[in-house]
Amino acid sequence: MSKRTKELLKANNELEKQLNDQEQRILTDISAYIRHAGTSPYYQESVRQDIITMVLDGSKRGLSVAEIIGEDYQSFCDSVLKELPKLSGREKAFSLLRDVLPSVMVLLGIWFVFSLLDAFLVVNTLPFIPITAGDLLGFLLIIPAAFYIFNFISKTAFSESKSLDKKLFAMIFAVIFLAMIFSIFLKYTLFQVHALIVLAVFALLFCFYLLLDKNVD
């Protein structure tokens, strides 16, 4: 994220420490909800700062969060977010790519370590690493599923329904289970790639992420 957004995020985190436990729980739900607002992280943090300040000022007068912003937190957030500028199509694309890259790099790193061990101990193909059909399908499944789950958590941040918790658990379990099934049974090797090429790709992705994170506000 940009320098101004990082500074605002840091200031908000320090400000939030002044809230009591109940207020922090409510602000956590609010923060999760505004992540799917379709506006820039800077404006999200600006809204978060305004709300924290409102709650702190009200708390000094002996008011609860419900008395300050109303009992329907979701409606309050919607009314505030409605006034914020939305991201353009280009900005959404770069923002999505910036958000996707950390997940891609984590998965790539985990896959690389296990594949390296497999290539050394089992298939004996080092320095080349086999790419199986299961690897590819599992990767293509987990990335979009992770973002769907993130959006699901954000959109249901204010819900206290136990059925939603069960649905979330079922989704996570299903994704992990399917990825394991793909990895175990779809062992057909599509091609092989040199280990140094994988490291080079990882380095390029990391540099691209740093570039996006610095310039996408």
Contact 186, 133 (CB under 8 A): yes
Please answer whether residues 73 and 26 qualify as being in contact, where contact means their C-beta atoms are separated by less than 8 angstroms.
Answer: yes
Amino acid in the structure at residue 192? Q
Strand runs labelled E in the chain: 128-132, 189-194
What single letter denotes the amino acid at residue 3?
K
The whole-model pTM stands at 0.70
* Residue 27 burial (10 A CB sphere; 0-12, 13-18, 19+): buried
Six token digits for residue 94:
């770069």
Instruction: Report how far residue 209's alpha carbon sits from residue 203's, in angstroms, rounded to the nearest whole number.
Output: 10
pLDDT tens, residue order, the chain (217 aa): 678 888 999 999 999 999 998 899 888 888 888 877 778 888 889 999 999 999 999 988 989 888 998 888 888 888 888 888 888 888 888 887 887 888 888 888 888 998 899 888 888 888 999 999 998 998 888 888 877 777 777 777 666 665 666 777 788 888 888 888 988 888 888 999 999 999 999 999 999 999 988 887 7
34: closest CA among 24, 21, 43? 43
